[in-house]
Amino acid sequence: MEKTDYDYIIIGSGIAGLNTALLAQDHGSVLILTKGRIEDCNTLYAQGGIAAALGPGDSAVLHMQDTMTAGAGLCDPEAVSVLTREGPQRVANLIKWGVPFDTIHGQIALGREGAHSMPRILHAGGDATGQHIETTLAQRVAQSEITVLEFSLATQILVEEGRAYGVDVLDTASGQRLEFRGRSIILATGGAGQLYRYTTNPQVATGDGVALAFNAGAAVMDLEFYQFHPTAFSMEGAPSFLLSEAMRGEGAVLRDVQGRAFMADYHPLADLAPRDVVSRAIANEMEKAGGGPVWLDISHLPADTVQARFPTIYSFCMEHGLDITKEPAPVAPAAHYMMGGIKADVWGRTSLDGLYACGEAACSAVHGANRLASNSLLDTLVFAQRVVSSTLGDAPNAGVDPAMPGAEPQGPAYAAATLTQRQLVCASAPTLSRESLQDLMWRNVGITRNGQRLLLSARILQLWQRTMPKPEDLPSYELANMVLLARLMVEAALLRQESRGSHFREDFPQPSEQWEKHLVFTQDIAR
Ligand SMILES: Cc1cc2nc3c(=O)[nH]c(=O)nc-3n(C[C@H](O)[C@H](O)[C@H](O)COP(=O)(O)OP(=O)(O)OC[C@H]3O[C@@H](n4cnc5c(N)ncnc54)[C@H](O)[C@@H]3O)c2cc1C
């Protein structure tokens, strides 16, 4: 008989889930549920690295300033202060656990990336940082008492009297349904790039955590902010493989179809401008050129430097017939990172007792409207540690979320929002499938948005929600979660009548002071 009661149930086996599990094991029994194999996650693909203020002349204050600037007025100052102050200690823990960060002359090598004022990016295996982190942590978990159940899809958070107490699970290999009970339930389910036709994210990134939390009655926030990475490989038949921002950090230049470097036309930091600026610039150049990609050129650097610093990217491009040491690579933007997510305070507490969230699935507003490169892996480490502390009662005001709508906010305000019931469109709605959803989101809720297309999308999504059959297997659960998350994203994007960070509306192209606030959706659930 399988054990069904644990102190900690952690959903997800990326850096957030594994790190939380390794920290929690000293305080009780731990179960990790993951819907694929342990290494099926965004973490495995992270390339550029992990940001921490470790270098000479750098400081938490400078790192905080850069993070707040990129976040375009929507970062929570307390969360950013926690991230940048506690980050270096958490990175030291990864080093202690054996993650082999690259060194130069015996010191940790620190790279530079867009919108960072200092070199502060630790990397491993050149551009294989995520792979080294994931495999190191997974090995430690394998040597521990932690129970890991692969192919175990969390389908529902169980709630009683306002407290999360368990998880319903579908064993996707056998089709069996299971119920597990836990003292603390931790969502570490990652991002949702699969909502879009072009994405750097793997198949598992379907935003399940946001849907699970919302369906359980927890608050979700900032979902209109989705980051599009400017430079994903763009060749017919090839995946949207990421060509890391670290390439531009090392001197790579974006060129138009005529070979002209164009980024200085758009921003004083040129190729190192924030991601939203670069993505929009590329989209604009692509439109001018009739839709084809732009070109990322690193061929002016010595070939051995490129091969040593970017071995994964170099091999990937070679497999597709392109030698980046000699010629530029075709690139276009792709969906990359979810800034919004399950509303969590700086201790990883959600608005539902007993339910915690960390990693890309969570939103503590640490990234605001636009994430600074390489701050995501750091976020997972810092807030995973804090989740474990708060389950032990170490967090102040335990059980109270200090930043819910109505509470006195420290940074930008929190505004409660609800899902508007819309007039249904029937005649023009495409049939629901993963692909038709991805197309809808790419066309209407992508890098550039407008009210008309958002409204049409909201209506189609509402129709799909109403007519979708009850989910019963992995693909149908994922699709139901994606449709719900898409709906929340579209409604948030419709409400936010301004442009800020990654959210750009053609009909409201400027930021507005009135919108310096977070949009929080909560489902009213009668219990
Ligand atoms: C190509 C690429 C490059 C990147 N490069 C960088 C970088 O250089 N630096 C940086 O800071 N960030 C980078 N990022 C972002 C960063 O990798 C992610 O934000 C981070 O790894 C997220 O970690 P996580 O543990 O929260 O989620 P993930 O690593 O995505 O893990 C989520 C886990 O949850 C599981 N899961 C989801 N739903 C369910 C469910 N219903 N039931 C059971 N299990 C479930 C998944 O299977 C998976 O195991 C990159 C991302 C990509 C895709």
Ligand 1 closest atom vs CA 199: 53
At residue 237, what is the residue type?
Answer: G
CA–CA separation, 52 and 375 (whole Å): 8
- The ligand 1 atom at the shortest distance from the C-alpha of residue 36 is 47
Residues 6+ apart with CB under 8 A from 148: 13, 31, 32, 34, 38, 141, 142
Mapped onto helix, strand or coil, the DSSP state of residue 406 is coil
> Residue 104 belongs to what H/E stretch?
strand 103-104
Burial bucket for residue 397 (CB in 10 Å: 0-12, 13-18, 19+): exposed
d(CA 345, CA 358): 10
pLDDT(526) > 70: no
Q: Which of 330, 347, 374 is the last residue of a domain?
A: 330
256 within some domain: yes
Residue 474 located in a structural domain: yes
Atom of ligand 1 nearest to the CA of 123: 8
**Phi and psi of 304, rounded to 5°?**
-70, -30
Residue 358 located in a structural domain: no
Is the minimum distance from the CB of 13 to ligand 1 under 6 angstroms?
yes
Contacts with 296 (C-beta within 8 Å, 6 or more apart), sequence order: 231, 243, 247, 248, 252, 253, 254, 255, 328, 329, 331
Q: How confident is the model at residue 113 (pLDDT cuts 50, 70, 90)?
A: confident
Beta strand 147-149 with 30-33: parallel, antiparallel or unpaired?
parallel
**Residue 209 placed within a domain:** no
pLDDT tens across 55-90, in order? 999 999 999 999 999 999 999 999 999 999 999 999
Contacts for 104 with CB less than 8 Å, ≥ 6 apart: none
- pTM, full prediction: 0.96
Bridging pattern class, strands 341-343 and 362-363: parallel
| Any atom of ligand 1 within 6 Å of the Cβ of 87 | no
Q: Between residues 29 and 428, which one has the greater pLDDT?
A: 29
Q: pLDDT (tens digit, 9 = 90+) per residue, 157-170?
A: 999 999 999 999 99
Sheet holding 121-122, edge to edge: 50-51, 121-122, 110-111
Query: Does residue 514 share a domain with residue 418?
Result: yes
Task: For residues 256 and 154, give the distance between their C-alpha atoms in angstroms, rounded to a whole number.
Answer: 45
CATH number for position 515: 1.20.58.100
- pLDDT more than 70, % of the chain: 97
**E-assigned strands of 132-267?**
147-149, 152-160, 163-171, 177-187, 220-221, 226-233, 253-255
Q: List CB contacts of 252: < 8 A, sequence separation 6 or more.
A: 271, 296, 297, 298, 301
Per-residue pLDDT at 288 exceeds 80: yes
Q: Are 15 and 32 in contact (CB under 8 A)?
A: no
Residue 301 belongs to domain with CATH number? 3.90.700.10
Element (H, E) at 484: helix 474-495
Domain that holds residue 286: 231-330
The reply to whether 278 falls in a domain is yes
* Shortest-distance Cα residue to atom 21 of ligand 1: 43
Residues with active-site annotation: 275
Could you tell me if the CB of 112 is within 6 A of ligand 1? no
Residue at 323 is within a domain: yes
* Total number of domains in the chain: 2
Rounded to whole angstroms, the Cα distance separating 194 from 469 reads 20
Confidence label for 426 from pLDDT (cuts 50, 70 and 90) = confident
**Last residue of some domain: 288, 304, 330?**
330
d(CA 333, CA 274): 13
Under the banding of pLDDT at 50, 70 and 90, the label for residue 395 is confident
- Domain boundary among the residues 330, 357, 384 is at 330
**158: in domain:** no
Does 116 fall in a domain? no
Helix, strand, coil abundance in the chain, percent, nearest 5: 35, 20, 45
